[in-house]
Amino acid sequence: MNKLEEWEERLYTLLREIDGALEDKYGKLYPLHPARPQRGETANPQYDGLFRITASYSAGYGSKLGPGYIFRVELVTFEMVPDTVRQTIEAEAIQMAEDGLKRIFPERELSIARDGNVIKIYGDLSL
């Protein structure tokens, strides 16, 4: 495994933890999208259950924070989810990510914050 794969595997471990915690707390609040498998039915929690928690690299062009990983918290349902509920869930996910980054990457200075319309994990991304 190269350094990039190792780095991203550590990050994706954190994303799976966040997904599991959100599923435990909120997973039964809304019906799943009809094409979405129940939690635990796939090998990757991105593809099942109510939540899809992802992070994808961005070079940071036009960003105030520079390069980083765009952090997304999606609810996969046709049900209308009130903005207040979405904001609460997103805030919890951000807090879990912030705490988890310190634990999973103790040797790095990483932060998570809003960057325009998105949430970004940024800081020491060196390999």
pLDDT for 1: 84
CB 31 within 8 A of CB 79: yes
Instruction: Supply the pLDDT for residue 127.
Output: 83
Q: For residue 59, count other CB atoms closer than 10 A to its CB.
A: 9
Q: For the chain, which residues score pLDDT lower than 70?
A: none
What is residue 98's predicted lDDT score, i.e. its pLDDT? 97
DSSP-derived 3-state class of residue 113: strand
Q: Is 40 left (phi over 0), alpha (psi -120 to 50) or beta?
A: left
- Dist CA 32 CA 14 (whole Å): 23
Q: What is the pLDDT of residue 48?
A: 95
110-115 β-sheet, strand order: 51-58, 68-75, 118-123, 110-115
Query: Residue 112 and residue 71: Cα distance in Å, rounded?
Result: 9
Taking the C-alpha atoms of residue 21 and residue 125, their distance in angstroms, rounded to an integer, is: 25
CB-based burial of residue 92 (10 Å sphere; 0-12 exposed, 13-18 middle, 19+ buried)? middle
